[in-house]
Amino acid sequence: MRSTVVLTEVRNGLRRNLGLTVAVILTVLVAGVLGGLSFLLHEQVNVMKSYWYDKVEISVYLCGTDSVAPSCLGPNGTAQAVTDAQRRQIKADLLSLPQVKEVYYESKADAYKHFEEQFKGSPIAASAPPDSLPESFRVKLKDPKTFAAVTGAFTGRSGVEEVQDERQLLDKLFSALNGIQRGGLIIAALMVVSALLLIANTIRVAAFTRRRETGIMRLVGASNLSIQLPFLLESVVAAMLGALLAGGLLAALKAFLIDGILAPSFQFTPFFGWDSLWKAGALVLIASMLIAASASMVTLRRYLRI
Amino acid sequence: MIRFDNVTKLYPSQVRPAVDEVTLEIDKGEFVFLVGASGSGKSTLLRLMLREERPTGGSVHVLGKDLNRLSAWKVPALRRQMGTVFQDFRLLPNKSVFENVAFALEVIGKPRHTIAQVVPEVLELVGLAGKEGRRPDELSGGEQQRVAIARAFANRPLLLIADEPTGNLDPATSVGIMRLLDRINRTGTTVVMATHDAAIVDQMRKRVIELEGGHLVRDQSRGVYGYSR
Ligand SMILES: Nc1ncnc2c1ncn2[C@@H]1O[C@H](COP(=O)(O)OP(=O)(O)OP(=O)(O)O)[C@@H](O)[C@H]1O
Ligand SMILES: [Mg+2]
């Protein structure tokens, strides 16, 4: 069949089934937005991971006179501050670990100064006595994933109150974000199922309304392809329109919400870039066209027997 | 051209075959009437020729092809060499006469200039020159059947299959349709036509094949509709 004939058929078919076509477009739109959002959230977590993991440190807090950790208690059961010898030895041992890149020392006074800076103007700053904050070693690792070597070696050592890995705090945030992303994916998958059923139903209705045409086509010897192609193209075109709209919405979200509002107000947080958005758009477009095509082929096999 | 060897067709839901052990042969250029009471299996026999149905027993050869062995994707090529006409015309109501005929050529991929040349020719042949722009509902039954015949004949088929083409028409109009089918037959096209119309069969004096309960009970050259009249 000539391509102009096919195109005319496709256009007529879309128009004749306008209500269902719009339903397919909207369903694909919602599925596409949800799927795209969960992809973008995934990208966002990755961006934040690579940004923050480089910056996170391990803090090795040293014992003070008010510590309660067992490793800080002396033989008489009272807390003992870390000695100079212990402090030197801990630093030397930290530096000897192959995973460690850098170690620097934060005294009680430094800690208080940072604390004051962070909570300037807040009553908390005034409430804390200057020597209530512990001294610590801040450790930067060559590869943040190897933190277990440091925590394992120093937790419970005498003179060390606690080893804290900032990465663990971040991981809690990231796993929460991943949970949201998975939830989005599940809803998107449900929407895909409804899109599949809707497309199947649309084709069934279209095949029924056009049974005269297809019956004649069969009798005069039109090939299976030319009988089925208009139906297939119709659903693929509808899905494509839905996907393009979804891509447009995602782009608007990136431009107005992220670039326009969030990025200026959270300057220390990196956000996913336009490359991720293009990827999300392409993914949604390809997936929805494939889904529409496969739903159509399965349905056509059943309802347009040759 | 057409050969049935011991062909039986039993529809899945039925107990009695619609076509029962029929053997027949139709040569190129013949004009054959298929007669028999309602339900005797005429339409089923025609559908077997068109490969709309597959036999449950025996073999059907059409245009040199064993339809049992013909793979599904080759069926369209076979049907392009066959024209079909039905009692209910089967025209597309929202297309003009010209477009109805052109549609049959478009969907088998004929180029535009061929269509522009062939459609007026075949409409002229069936006597519809000047009515190309009309819709089916602006035509009489006889004219609608002429459009259907034009569509069936547009691709110059080797075989024309007609299932009660005059079933919905009055006797005078039917005669016109039969003249047209006869003309088409004279161009060398084999015509197989199922009918209940005794007057036509008696008048034309062509080969008559009679079915009764799915069995072939009579095959007579230059026959009449029935003995017992
Ligand atoms: N699709 C079908 N499924 C089941 N049974 C069928 C089907 N088509 C026809 N039959 C049965 O097969 C038998 C023959 O039917 P067929 O249509 O071939 O008869 P016919 O000679 O064309 O009748 P008519 O003159 O009324 O058109 C009938 O008993 C009919 O009920
Ligand atoms: Mg019949």
More confident residue, A194 or B227: A194
Secondary structure in 3-state letters for chain B: CEEEEEEEECCCCCCCCCEEEEEEEECCCCEEEEECCCCCCHHHHHHHHCCCCCCCEEEEEECCEECCCCCHHHHHHHHCCEEEEECCCCCCCCCCHHHHHHHHHHCCCCCHHHHHHHHHHHHHHCCCCCCCCCCHHHCCHHHHHHHHHHHHHCCCCCEEEEECCCCCCCHHHHHHHHHHHHHHHHCCCEEEEECCCHHHHHHHCCEEEEEECCEEEEEECCCCCCCCC
Helices and strands (DSSP H and E) totals, chain A: 11, 4
Separation of CA B194 and ligand 2 centre (Å): 7
* Interface predicted TM-score (ipTM) of this complex, two decimals: 0.91
3-state class of B219 per DSSP? strand
For the record, the structure tokens of A4 come out as 């102009």
The per-residue pLDDT for B207 is: 95
Separation CA B210–CA B165 (nearest Å): 17
Chain B: closest CA distance from residue A194 (Å): 33
* CA-closest residue to ligand 1 atom 18: B41
Look at B84 and A219 and tell me if their CB atoms are within 8 Å.
Answer: yes
Q: Could you say which residues from 2 to 41 on chain A have a Cβ atom under 8 Å away from some Cβ of chain B?
A: 2, 5
Considering only CB atoms, which chain A residues are within 8 Å of B73?
223-224
For A219, the closest of B79, B109, B111 (CB atoms) is: B79
For the Cβ of B88 lying below 6 angstroms from any atom of ligand 1, the answer is no
pLDDT of residue B229: 43
The type of residue at A304 is L
B212 close to B40: Cβ distance less than 8 angstroms: yes
pLDDT of residue A7: 79
**Which chain B residues are Cβ-neighbours of A224 within 8 angstroms?**
72-73, 76
Rg (CA), chain B: 17
Q: Is the CB of B39 under 6 A from ligand 1?
A: yes
In the reported structure, the alpha carbon of residue B210 is separated from the centroid of ligand 2 by a whole-number distance in angstroms of 13
CB B87 near ligand 1, within 6 Å = no
Which residue ranges make up each domain of chain A?
A: 3-52+171-303, 57-165
Q: Which residue's alpha carbon is at the smallest distance from atom 16 of ligand 1?
A: B41
Is the Cβ atom of B190 under 6 angstroms away from ligand 1? no
Contact B108 A213 (CB under 8 A): no
Ligand number with the minimum distance to the CA of B211: 1
At A63 the three-state DSSP class reads coil
- Which chain B residues are Cβ-neighbours of A228 within 8 angstroms? none
Give the pLDDT score at A146: 78
Number of H helices, E strands in chain B: 7, 10
State chain B's mean pLDDT as an integer. Answer: 94
| Per-residue tokens: B58 | 């025996």
Instruction: Please give the sequence-ordered ranges of beta strands (E in DSSP) within B10-153, or none if there are none.
Output: 19-26, 31-35, 57-62, 65-66, 82-86
CATH tag, A57-165: 3.30.70.3040
Q: What is the pLDDT of residues B92-149, one digit of tens each?
A: 999 999 999 999 999 999 999 999 999 999 999 999 999 999 999 999 999 999 999 9
Question: Across the interface, do B108 and A222 touch by the CB < 8 Å criterion?
Answer: yes
Q: Is the CB of B15 under 6 A from ligand 1?
A: no
Is A215 in Cβ contact with B92 (below 8 Å)?
A: no
Tokens standing for residue B9: 């067709």
pTM for this model (two decimals): 0.75
Whether A215 sits inside 8 A of B90 (CB atoms) is yes
Minimum-distance ligand 1 atom for the alpha carbon of B9 = 12
pLDDT digits (tens, 9 = 90+) for B179-220: 999 999 999 999 999 999 999 999 999 999 999 999 999 998
Interval between CA B41 and ligand 1 midpoint (Å): 6
Can you give the pLDDT at residue A306? 53
pLDDT at B29 over 60: yes
* pLDDT surpasses 60 at B61: yes
CB contact under 8 A, A219 and B50: yes
Amino acid B191: pLDDT:
97
- The position carrying tokens 């959270």 is A266
Please report residues of A whose CB lies closer than 8 A to that of B84: 219-220
Q: Are the Cβ atoms of A1 and B109 closer than 8 angstroms? A: yes
Among chain B residues, CA nearest to A5:
B106
Task: Kindly determine whether residue B77 and residue A221, on different chains, have CB atoms separated by under 8 Å.
Answer: yes
pLDDT at residue B228 above 60?
A: no
User: Distance from the CA of B42 to the center of ligand 2, in angstroms?
Assistant: 6
In the reported structure, the alpha carbon of residue B38 is separated from the centroid of ligand 2 by a whole-number distance in angstroms of 7
Closest CB to B90: pick one of A2, A216, A226. Answer: A216
Q: Which residues 203-232 on chain A approach chain B with CB closer than 8 angstroms?
A: 212-213, 215-224, 226-227
Partner-chain contact B107 A306, CB within 8 Å: no
CB B75 within 8 A of CB B50: no
Ligand 1 center to residue B46 CA distance, Å?
11
Residues in A touching B111 (Cβ below 8 Å): 2
Among candidates B76, B81, B84 on the partner chain, residue whose Cβ is nearest the Cβ of A222: B76
| pLDDT for residue B52 | 93
pLDDT tens string for chain A (306 positions)?
Answer: 667 777 777 787 777 778 888 988 999 999 999 999 999 988 988 888 888 777 778 888 988 888 888 888 887 778 888 888 888 888 888 888 888 888 889 888 888 887 777 676 666 666 667 777 888 888 888 877 777 878 888 888 888 888 888 777 778 888 888 888 888 889 888 988 988 898 888 888 888 888 899 999 999 999 988 888 888 998 999 999 999 999 999 999 999 998 988 888 887 788 999 999 999 999 999 999 999 999 999 988 887 765
For residue A222, report the distance from its CA to the centre of ligand 2, in Å. 24
